[in-house]
Amino acid sequence: MTLPAGQPTRSCATELVCHHCELRLPLMDTTFRCMGCGRVFDIDYDYELAKTRLGELPTAERAVNIWRFEELLPIKAAEAKAHVGINSGRTPLIHADRLGAELGLRKLYLKDDSTQRPSLSYKDRVVSMAVARLLELGKEEIGCVSTGNVGTAVSSLGAKAGVAAYVFYPSNLERGKARACRALGATVIQLDGNYDEANRACRELALASGIQFANITLRPFYAEGAKTVAFEVVEQLDWVSPDHFVIPAAGGTLSSRVHKGLVEMEKVGMAATAATKIHIAQPEGCGPIATAVLDGTGEIVEQRPKTVAHSLAIGAPGDGPLVVDAVTSRGGSAATATDDEIFEALDLLGSTEGILTEPAGGTTVAATIKLANEGKLGADDTVVAVISGNGYKTLDEHPEKPWPEMVACEVEAMEEVLGEFRGGRVGATSS
């Protein structure tokens, strides 16, 4: 579809920029990697104009979705924006008093993107920007390479925008997520390789086929969607930026763009955010960014992923250097978790806060536990842990939990079995 040249949004985006080479291109250019150094372009804004425009429209009159502070988002065509993400964003910030009591953190909050619309992960934020950009370019097909959640987001948001979606999964996919993409009408193509191999092949395919890929060719725009987490959390805390964010990292988009969002809020006078630390959560079996932070080198060394947290299984993180910079410049840290620790933390979150997350969320909680035990999070500090995905999508991948054999449908037999469990006298019997 080609959109009519209609109303512009309030976006103050100006150019594509490579911060490394200081190379700049017009915003409508479709080059996504710097010709000088190969890094992905960033989006630059006119922050003075943003300051003015932000002041013109009271917060109370703004959209309650990801477009709330569209001055700091990169989409210019109102018609493109109108088709995407209208019900995305504004997920709850939950005071996790019961989990916090277990961890010794009185002000622990969960940014619960497991309830994100339409596809139950934080990826709806970034893919919304990518699809809006696709419409802005007048294209009708979108591809993506996905560990799971990008695929469901592209399928959902692509369907609503009326574009064809092609989802490329690595060999070790989470079946439920791939099946969801099919149910949403997308074409699913599984590749015989891990995520990093699939990602490299898809980069070539994008150039060969001319299909725009949400997290490859549209990446400068895609990444901007992650800033909305920072905008929302600070507003939900009454414009007081938290002492700490704990954020799961795969490619590193979320943590690096939360950092960018915080910097921008300070720049345009929305909130004082300079003291906020960002800590990274990664699985032990795939922690190239955490390793670079913890060993103090800052050097990302590619790893071959081996983890139950499939949505974090990216061994060559595209935004890794940006994350290291975000973490170290803010005095943050990192923690890794084993597969067992990930599932224990996932269970603890479920039994204390009633939130069923996927292994990526378990990784965040496990890392929060470690950071608290190491004294990196103070008992009275405000800590925001980002729960990025939903456990109902990955339940088939979680360890079996036994329950009793089938019981006769009569009160006596039921009371007998129930008696074994009440008061915690036994755990569960074998299934």
Amino acid, single-letter form, for residue 328: T
Q: Are 28 and 7 in contact (CB under 8 A)?
A: no
**What does the alpha-carbon distance between residue 308 and residue 343 come to, in Å, rounded to a whole number?**
9
DSSP string, 87-116: T-----EEE-HHHHHHHT-TEEEEEEGGG-
Greatest distance between any 2 Cα atoms in the chain: 77
Contact call for residues 146 and 168 (beta carbons, < 8 A): yes
We find the least distance from the C-beta atom of residue 39 to Zn ion, in angstroms, to be 5
Pairing, β 23-26 against β 13-18: antiparallel
Tell me, rounded to whole angstroms, the distance of Cα 132 from its chain centroid. 18
Binding site for Zn ion (CB under 5 A): 18, 20-21, 34, 36-37
Listing from the earlier edge strand, what are the strands of the sheet with 23-26?
23-26, 13-18, 42-45
Please, which residue, 34 or 246, has the CB nearer to Zn ion?
A: 34
Q: Tokens 């964010």 label which residue?
A: 245
| Least distance (Å) between residue 370 CB and Zn ion | 36
CB of 317 to Zn ion, least distance (A): 18
Angle of helix 339-353 relative to helix 359-373, nearest 10 degrees, comes to 90
CB atoms within 10 A of CB 106: 15
Residue 318 or residue 362: which is nearer to Zn ion going by CB?
318
* Complex with Zn ion: residue 18 or 383, whichever CB lies closer: 18
Nearer to Zn ion, 248 or 320 (CB): 320
Nearer to Zn ion, 36 or 419 (CB): 36
Nearer to Zn ion, 36 or 331 (CB): 36
Q: Is 260 left (phi over 0), alpha (psi -120 to 50) or beta?
A: alpha
Which of 32/166 has CB closer to Zn ion?
Answer: 32
Cα→Cα distances 1→76, 127, 251, 269, Å: 17, 18, 31, 38
Nearer to Zn ion (CB atom), residue 18 or residue 386: 18
Q: How near is the Cβ of 41 to Zn ion at its closest, in Å?
A: 8
For Zn ion, which is the closer residue by CB, 20 or 182?
20
> In whole angstroms, how close is the CB of 35 to Zn ion at the nearest point?
7
| Cβ at position 259, least distance to Zn ion in Å | 19
Q: How far is the CB of 7 from Zn ion (least distance, A)?
A: 33
DSSP, collapsed to helix, strand or coil, labels residue 122 as coil
Structure tokens at 345: 């933390």
Residue 221 CB, shortest distance to Zn ion, in Å, is: 18
Nearest Cα neighbor of 183 from 151, 211, 140 is 151
CB count in 10 Å sphere of residue 180: 22
Nearest residue to 338 (alpha-carbon basis) of 322, 359, 316, 314: 359
Residue 165 CB, shortest distance to Zn ion, in Å, is 30
**Nearer to Zn ion (CB atom), residue 37 or residue 101:** 37
In the structure encoding, which two tokens stand for residue 346, read together? 């996932």
Alpha carbons 82 and 123: distance in angstroms, whole number: 19
Least distance to Zn ion, CB of residue 220, Å: 12
Q: How far is the CB of 42 from Zn ion (least distance, A)?
A: 10
Nearer to Zn ion among residue 35 and residue 395 (C-beta): 35
DSSP-H helix ranges across 18-118: 47-56, 78-81, 97-103
SS3 label, residue 260: helix
